[in-house]
Structure 1
Amino acid sequence: MFKEKLTFSFICLLATFLSFSQAQKKTLQTKFCSEKITIDGKFDEPIWKTAAIATDFIMIAPNNGDPEKNNRRSEVKIVYDNEAIYVAATMYDDEPKKILRELTTRDEFGSADHFGIFFNGYNDGQQEFRFYVSAAGVQQDCVYTEANGEDFSLNSIWDSKTSITDYGWTIELKIPYAAVRFSDEKKQTWGLNMYREVYRDRFQYSWNLIDINLQTEANQAGILEGIENIKTPTRLFLIPYTSYYLSGNDSNKTKGEFKGGLDVKYGINDAFTLDAILVPDFGQAAFDRVELNLGPFEQQFAENRPFFTEGTDLFNKGNLFYSRRIGGEPSVQPTLSSDEDFIEYPSTVNLLNALKVSGRTKGGLGIGILNAVTEKTDAIIRNNITGETRNELIEPLANFNLFVLDQRFRQNSSVSFINTNVTRNGEYRDANVSALIYDLNTKKNTFNLSGDYKFSHVNDYLLDNRNGYNTSINLGKTKGKYRYSVGSQYFSEKWDNNDLGINFQTNYHAVYGNASYRIIKPTKTFNTLNVQTNLYSEFNNTTGSIQEASININFNSTNKRNDYHGFGLNTRPVAVYDYYEPRSEDNSKFLIVPRRIGGNYFFSSNYAKKFALDFGPSISFFDEKDRLNFNLLVSPRYRFSDKLLLIYSSRFSRQVNDIGWIDFDNSDNAILAKRNRNTYTNTLSGKYAINDLITFNLSIRHYWSYAINKEILTLKDDGTFETNTNYNKNRNSNFNTWNMDLSFSWWFAPGSQMSILYRNNSSLFAREFNKKIGSNFRDSVNQENLNHILSVSIRYFIDYNSAKNWFSKK
């Protein structure tokens, strides 16, 4: 029946795919340049006097579709030679002294005016290489796709120079062909768009209209013509690095360690790129924001390692890939006897090497391959009676592989196939997951039909092999003021993608819907306004019991002063059955969770002002005596100058009479506790920029969370609970983490960086504790508990096209 409904829905939507004519696209004619252009922001080369001008920009926001005013007009010229595209842009401004130009690190926008240029070398509406420059001269570059938006992990080598004038500001750019992708055709036709932001007013413009009625952007670009007889360059980049780490704490002697390695980037052809890391070093990646986890699921961490964040839009298809599995926690848990303890247990597995190949053909076929190998890892176990030690395998040599095919067509639709595979050496768990995904849009981007079918196979030598699947379908209107969608999802009981992905719940099906209204033009009160309602319900496949039900209404707006206000109401209108909190092996036990109603508010003042504030309270009331949740965020920020910015954030949350699992009794029955939990998170971040290439950055976080059990409970078979007077273990929790990173970054040559990082951290857990924030903070930063690391890393970028001249005769 489900397949029949899916087929019928698919046919109905295909019937609406009519041939609508697209809006007229602007065209800019470029010309070949035979003279040398110096990137100085002055436009004093003769070629700029005869180049065609792109002007008449159109507002994206707030007044979508309005033409730019003459006193703030934008004029852009583009020429090319055999090695690069050159851009000269003039942004007129009737008040040039008010142009904002905060200095930031690369790829951070900050409070500054910006100009951007977007190139699509295939003119297929699928992928754009976007290059932004702020009025302060800071570069940002990214790859844009409709599925993943802007991916700023791209770090290409290109040149830019800005200048503030008495009539506005100018920028001159040189973008080598190695920084974009295009075909080998003799006559080139590229997709082209340009962007400008006047930050003090939050006015955004584009050269070719970007209609915000539509959800797509790349296929609303204009056209660049006139490029002929250019060759795709050899794209071979070598990035050798060396690092030195000095680490220690009060209980261990200070030790030093040298590391070295090599990153390789190679353009296989005009479309495909090979990235490889040999002897990786991620020692300067940002720290994880660890929390006290009292729930049934693992904490999910953001990926901070550059290799796994750069150019991964293809690999994120279908949400099957959680890169932290590679080099993450060991997968094998050894069994200890009663007189044994671990004396060494690595928390992560070393990554030996990794590579990825990705790109897209002229016909729109995207291909991605990612492979990584992690090393065999042992724990050391000691017998407390005999003193003998032994090694126990906790992770065998393992290979992680991801393969993606993504066929795009008609500039706004795609069908994808994804496969993930984890193979461990020896008789250990292996896994394979495959998925077919579709994302279909009408010609005019009015309706969308999307969905997937995913299949998992786990081969576990200790357990039976398991096959599982999940599937979903979603149909929605995606254009105009009023939008809506409906969908459903099904997870089988044995669905398991957790070897290279992450998933928390199985054995349920869900149905959901949402509707929204937004204004297209500003009103007297609002620059933007979006009202959205969501309905969601989830049912257990085995029992049919309702696992989750929610209704949400959210209002999001920006007023005429560009301050953001958002608030929402949410409710769980019925009691639901939680099959995960009891933590039974077969998920047969459940806990009944009561009805809930709550609300939230969030305010964020205009960041264009020197002082700005984020403020957000939320509260939830449960249909259970004296049970509630409360959260409060206060985060002021102050921009002392274009060079110095400080941001402080304080978040407090309190759970009153929360009920959760704490242990099992001798019969493996779940022991619960009614508990109060308080959490305090305080962070301080700062930036001081000497110029657009040299910055100091500070990041401090103190996290403190404690839970005190007020009443011990035993879970009954009907999902309710009763008081347990026999359990007398102390299962209170007190957890502190402290992290401080102070770093210096210097881009001393194109693509080459020296970074110095001082880091200290601590992590403390206790059952016995006091509730004074001062003493918990002092314990966290006590010298006896701190680990210290000082690291220096130098990465040098070598472009083959430049390096080959080092050895040639002059």
Structure 2
Amino acid sequence: MSQRFLLITILITFCISNAQNNTKLDSINAEKRGLVSKKVLKTSLTTENIKIDGVIDESAWKSVEMASDFISFEPDNGNPIPQNRKTEVKILYDNNAIYISAVMYDENPSKILKEFVQRDNIGAADFFGIFINGFNDGQQDFRFIVSASNGQADCQASDNQGEDYSWDAIWESQTKITDFGWVAEIKIPYAALRFSPENKQTWGLNFMREVRRDRQKYTWTFIDPKIRTFIQQAGILEGIENIKTPTRLFFLPYSSFYLNADAQNKTKGTLKGGLDLKYGINDAFTLDVILIPDFGQTAVDQKILNLGPFEQQFNENRSFFTEGTDLFSKGNLFYSRRIGGRPSGRANLEINEKVSETPATVGLLNALKVSGRTKDGLGIGVLNAVTENTYATILDTITGQSRRQIIEPLANYNILVFDQRFNKNSSFSFINTNVTRNGSFRDANVSALIWDLNTKANTFNMQGNFKYSHVNNPNQDKNGISSYLEINKTSGKYRYGIGSDILTKKFDNNDLGINFQTNFYSLYANGSYRILSPNKQFNRFNLNTNFYNEFQLETGKIQTSNLNINLNIGSKKNNAYGMNVNSNPVETTDYYEPRTTGRYFIQPKRIGFGGYYSSNYNNKFAYDVDSNVSWSDQKGRNAINLSLSPRYRINDKISFIYKYNYSRNRNNKGFGTKINTDNNDLTPVDIIIANRNIISHTNTLTTKYSVNSNMNFNLSAIHYWSYSENKSFLLLQNDGRFTPYTGTVKNLNQDFSTWNLDLSYTWWFVPGSQVSILYRNNSFNEISDINKNYIKNYTNLINNEVLSHTFSISIKYFIDYNQAKNWF
């Protein structure tokens, strides 16, 4: 009897256990199929003081609801998280912040990766992230990520624009490695978030965890890779009610000291000070103001030998113009380097005068931005900046007297944006940019309508814009139009799309934006195939092709024709590799390289092949190799590019990365010079085309030593050398072809090199407050006589008279009004 009872008990226990497992799997599968509602996590109000120490011992944590049952995001999409890696997350809140505890189990705690790196760079480390959408509109996240070494990263993210790590918030975290895994405890003040003013809050919510050694990522809610959107597949956070958020008013005063020395040992010290201010107009809108700006410690622009017809575009390194500017980037009308960039005017010279000094940039007086979003999904942004009068110094070569002439007047730069989101996946936007310069200088105004529309199931997308530019020149106004329309299938293994652009000849947004080409229309198409889950051979497989044709608007001649095929693969060992075929299948007509209106030359057909390999960065030693070669349909014209980058991580604190780039363009054809046929500026000119070899070398070394997650030493050294050696000259004919040129041409060879070295120390001594010490050494050399000896080139660069040394110390201190008011 007892044996029969025991057998029945075992059978019942087995059935219940199996039913529970099946219920969990069925729940996950139902969630995959969209048959159940979104996951919901309920938070609770706490009156207890939550100490951010990585120890989850406050009594408030015991009674709050827990988020668990994570699901694999990649590479094994859709599988339940293994029981030995279960993850348990809880959220509490009060009137100041939300608090997150994350307990992450690991079967081998000793193998948890925990490299120390700078902020916003996870490195080789496990991480936990919380993704919050305060408006629950399915379109934008505020993401807060903490690594196992307590490194912090934060960003704003959208499905269309990706992650923007230039955005920084002030928040707290602490992690601890335990005998069962690791723990993260986080405090996110409401000032770091944006949400509507309702008494009862409903936020979009997701969590992500990565076990770095396996490159396995897990999320709280299932993310279906067949659908392009990530944010819309988040869960829900409920329970935050009737919060009384504190005043959002923050001050960031700073003081900087610069000691500059040039090659003549002339030393100059400069002391600067200023203030940044942030004010929360409400919980959704923020005012940012920068007074007396100091950008002395921003990264140096990496200039190159630019032989093309267009200006070189630089990255923005000034934090005010990178943080929280997602609204202002709508329509690609905002190139922030225009603010405080090169003067727009030139000096007018009299007989016997020359320019003795011209500033390279314009000084910024102040700037502000207001941005936020209403509860109905309307985003509003205003950015305004004012630059100062800028003068050139002109010297009379006979009398020796100098005078100053204004080349950039007091100018106001303004951007206004309205961005209406709807259906949790679509938006309409209006943006206007305006530049007004004092006096009889050029003014400009550009407006755009932008749309991004998706079907309810996120299977198809239609996007486009219509832009209108008006430039008020002292001599002649001009108006232009730019527009594009694109339709794409955005779900499933097979995806494709078609689109078209048109830009009229007089479209010009270059006062506050950047645009190189006008007077054309284009047609393009793309198609791709990808695996949605790993198979026996690959973790990731993506094959895509793109076709692009561009035609001159007035003549209909083809300006550009590209056909590209790309293959990208992720291996089971987390290495990445791929290859590509790129071609210009027909001859094209280049209207820009001759640098003369109405003239063009014929670019030949071309075909190229390339490939890359990137080994797993989890390994102490890893490397990247990238190369491509191409051949043109002209005798002896070819190109090769090679990049090699080994890296070595000694331990969790010290690492080195070296990168070498080499490129060679043989028998390249490009603009050389113009020669007046009758020595008369009003007569036609002969356009001389240079047949040249272009060689470039770039050596880059970066290394870091991290004392901890808040204190880092960094070294960056870059030597760039490129030269263009002319072999012969050609005369451009009216039909775009070339004939040999037998006349005399001055030496047009170019040898250009730069050296930049930055050695820095940064210490975040409290959240938001930083000490920065920087030593900078840089130089450049531009000559027409080429010396092909690499060592001599580098020696000449270091001994150049423009070699400069800068030593600077900057201290920034974050002041919260709510704390400061108690000081008095």
TM-score, normalized by length of structure 1? 0.96
Q: Within the alignment, does 1:762 sit opposite 2:779 as a pair?
A: yes
Q: Within the alignment, does 1:453 sit opposite 2:470 as a pair?
A: no
Secondary structure, aligned partner of 2:115: coil
Secondary structure, aligned partner of 1:638: strand
Structure 2 equivalent of residue 436 of structure 1: 449
The one-letter amino acid of 1:740's match is: L
Structure 2 equivalent of residue 641 of structure 1: 651
Q: Within the alignment, does 1:681 sit opposite 2:693 as a pair?
A: no
Secondary structure, aligned partner of 1:324: helix
Measured against aligned partners, the alpha-carbon deviations of 1:389-409 in whole angstroms (never above 9, x if no partner) come to 121221111111111110000
Structure 1 equivalent of residue 28 of structure 2: none
Structure 2 equivalent of residue 8 of structure 1: none
Measured in 1, the distance between the counterparts of 2:351 and 2:148 equals 66
Measured against aligned partners, the alpha-carbon deviations of 1:597-656 in whole angstroms (never above 9, x if no partner) come to 001111111111111101011011000001001100000001111001110000000000
Structure 1 residues 145-544: aligned runs within 5 Å: 145-251=158-264, 253-336=266-349, 339-462=352-475, 464-544=476-556
CA contact (8 A) 2:749 2:786 kept: no
Measured in 1, the distance between the counterparts of 2:355 and 2:647 equals 45
CA contact (8 A) 1:352 1:373 kept: yes
Structure 2 equivalent of residue 799 of structure 1: 816
Structure 2 equivalent of residue 725 of structure 1: 742
> What is the RMSD of the two structures over their aligned residues, measured on CA atoms?
1.2
Q: Within the alignment, does 1:593 sit opposite 2:603 as a pair?
A: yes
Q: Within the alignment, does 1:706 sit opposite 2:706 as a pair?
A: no
Structure 1 equivalent of residue 637 of structure 2: 627
Structure 1 equivalent of residue 589 of structure 2: 577
Deviation at 1:133, TM superposition (A): 0.2
Q: Within the alignment, does 1:77 sit opposite 2:85 as a pair?
A: no
Structure 2: segments with no counterpart, 5+ residues: 1-32, 677-683
Deviation at 1:386, TM superposition (A): 2.4
CA contact (8 A) 2:733 2:739 kept: yes
CA contact (8 A) 2:263 2:801 kept: yes
Structure 1 equivalent of residue 679 of structure 2: none
Measured in 2, the distance between the counterparts of 1:576 and 1:252 equals 53
Measured against aligned partners, the alpha-carbon deviations of 1:331-350 in whole angstroms (never above 9, x if no partner) come to 10224456433221100000
CA contact (8 A) 1:184 1:231 kept: no
Structure 1: segments with no counterpart, 5+ residues: 1-19
Secondary structure, aligned partner of 2:795: helix
CA contact (8 A) 1:182 1:232 kept: no
Measured in 2, the distance between the counterparts of 1:789 and 1:136 equals 33
Deviation at 1:232, TM superposition (A): 2.8
Deviation at 1:236, TM superposition (A): 0.6
Structure 1 equivalent of residue 675 of structure 2: 665
CA contact (8 A) 2:146 2:152 kept: yes
Measured in 1, the distance between the counterparts of 2:638 and 2:67 equals 58
Measured against aligned partners, the alpha-carbon deviations of 1:171-224 in whole angstroms (never above 9, x if no partner) come to 111111211122222222211110101111111111011222222122111011
Measured in 2, the distance between the counterparts of 1:278 and 1:532 equals 48
Structure 2 equivalent of residue 655 of structure 1: 665
Measured against aligned partners, the alpha-carbon deviations of 1:715-739 in whole angstroms (never above 9, x if no partner) come to 1111011111212300000001000
Measured in 2, the distance between the counterparts of 1:252 and 1:355 equals 39
CA radius of gyration, larger in: 2
The one-letter amino acid of 1:641's match is: N
Deviation at 1:384, TM superposition (A): 2.3
Structure 2 equivalent of residue 140 of structure 1: 153
Structure 2 equivalent of residue 68 of structure 1: 81
Structure 2 equivalent of residue 17 of structure 1: none
CA contact (8 A) 1:746 1:754 kept: yes
Measured in 2, the distance between the counterparts of 1:454 and 1:554 equals 32
The one-letter amino acid of 2:310's match is: F
Q: Within the alignment, does 1:780 sit opposite 2:797 as a pair?
A: yes
Measured against aligned partners, the alpha-carbon deviations of 1:304-326 in whole angstroms (never above 9, x if no partner) come to 00000000000000001000000
Measured in 1, the distance between the counterparts of 2:264 and 2:164 equals 43
The one-letter amino acid of 2:608's match is: G
CA contact (8 A) 1:210 1:217 kept: yes
Identity of matched residues, %: 57
Measured in 1, the distance between the counterparts of 2:172 and 2:557 equals 60
Structure 2 equivalent of residue 127 of structure 1: 140
Secondary structure, aligned partner of 1:315: helix
Deviation at 1:785, TM superposition (A): 4.0
The one-letter amino acid of 1:607's match is: Y
Measured in 2, the distance between the counterparts of 1:128 and 1:442 equals 21
CA contact (8 A) 2:194 2:372 kept: no
Aligned residue pairs, count = 785
Deviation at 1:769, TM superposition (A): 2.7
The one-letter amino acid of 1:317's match is: K
Measured in 2, the distance between the counterparts of 1:407 and 1:332 equals 38
Secondary structure, aligned partner of 1:42: coil
The one-letter amino acid of 2:527's match is: A
Secondary structure, aligned partner of 2:708: coil
Measured in 2, the distance between the counterparts of 1:183 and 1:252 equals 58
The one-letter amino acid of 1:806's match is: W
CA contact (8 A) 2:347 2:355 kept: no
Secondary structure, aligned partner of 1:602: strand
CA contact (8 A) 1:22 1:444 kept: no
Structure 1 equivalent of residue 709 of structure 2: 692
Measured in 1, the distance between the counterparts of 2:388 and 2:343 equals 11
Structure 2 equivalent of residue 559 of structure 1: 571
The one-letter amino acid of 2:140's match is: Q
Deviation at 1:784, TM superposition (A): 4.1
CA contact (8 A) 1:514 1:532 kept: yes
Deviation at 1:149, TM superposition (A): 1.9
The one-letter amino acid of 1:421's match is: N
Measured in 2, the distance between the counterparts of 1:191 and 1:232 equals 19
Measured in 2, the distance between the counterparts of 1:149 and 1:805 equals 40
Secondary structure, aligned partner of 1:665: strand
Q: Cα gap change, 1:572/1:23 in structure 2, threshold over 3 Å: closer, same or farther?
A: farther
CA contact (8 A) 1:184 1:232 kept: no
Structure 2 equivalent of residue 10 of structure 1: none
The one-letter amino acid of 1:582's match is: P
TM-score, normalized by length of structure 2? 0.94
Secondary structure, aligned partner of 2:540: strand
Measured in 2, the distance between the counterparts of 1:355 and 1:475 equals 36
Secondary structure, aligned partner of 2:266: strand
Measured in 1, the distance between the counterparts of 2:739 and 2:165 equals 53
Structure 2 equivalent of residue 16 of structure 1: none
Deviation at 1:572, TM superposition (A): 0.7
CA contact (8 A) 1:621 1:628 kept: yes
Measured in 2, the distance between the counterparts of 1:727 and 1:178 equals 68
Deviation at 1:23, TM superposition (A): 5.7
Deviation at 1:127, TM superposition (A): 2.1
Deviation at 1:144, TM superposition (A): 1.7
